[in-house]
Amino acid sequence: MRHAGLALAALLLVSQSVRVPSEDRSSVLLTGTYLGNELRPDNANPYSSPLHRTYYVRTEEGTWSLVSSSDVAEVLVAHTLALAPGHVRSDRSNLLDSLKRWEKFNFRAEPDRRVGVGRNAFLVYIPRTDDPRKEDRFEADFTPSTTHVLPSTGN
């Protein structure tokens, strides 16, 4: 029971929106094009199959794969408590849920400095539609675009 209480407390802390001080908002905003989303299984545990939603966003620099932090927390709680797949929290939609394919939006990204994450791991923040002073946090992987160099013709 003690572990269940700790896991629930962790879920509640992670699933809360992030309030950003005004001085932090001065960071560079990126403009992304929403490509779509899909439900993906969690590959961390072969014995269960909780799903999480992955959103895909394209920028000039490459493609971002975003998973909301609350979805990551749900998967963690499900593994800790050995729960059946499903949503633990109430589904609160984010900006990405309201976008149509190819629509543009702004977001900011910071490198994820946690131990054990890859060098292409980022934390992405997207302003909420109901309160622009708050942001939804996503864990993201970035895949850079490959640049194709055309061979010179020698003219």
What are the domain boundaries of the chain? 2-17+29-144
Average pLDDT, the chain: 73
Tens of pLDDT, residues 45-59: 555 556 778 999 999
Tell me the C-alpha to C-alpha distance, in Å, between residue 34 and each of 31, 95, 121, 137, 151: 10, 10, 19, 16, 32
Tokens of 124: 């992405």
Question: Strands 51-58 and 134-144: what pairing?
Answer: unpaired
Residue 38: name the closest of 58, 66, 70, 61 by CA: 66
Mean pLDDT of 21-33: 69
Tens of pLDDT, residues 51-107: 778 999 999 999 999 987 655 555 555 555 555 444 444 456 789 989 999 999 999
User: Does the pLDDT at position 32 exceed 70?
Assistant: yes
pLDDT the model gives residue 68: 77
Specify the amino acid at residue 127: P
Full-model pTM: 0.64
C-alpha span between 16 and 28 (Å, rounded): 23
Residue 101 backbone dihedrals phi, psi, to 5 degrees: -55, 135
Give the other-Cβ count within 10 Å of 131's Cβ. Answer: 10
Provide the CA 42 distance to its chain's centre, in angstroms: 14
- The DSSP bridge partners found for residue 118 are none
C-alpha span between 72 and 61 (Å, rounded): 25
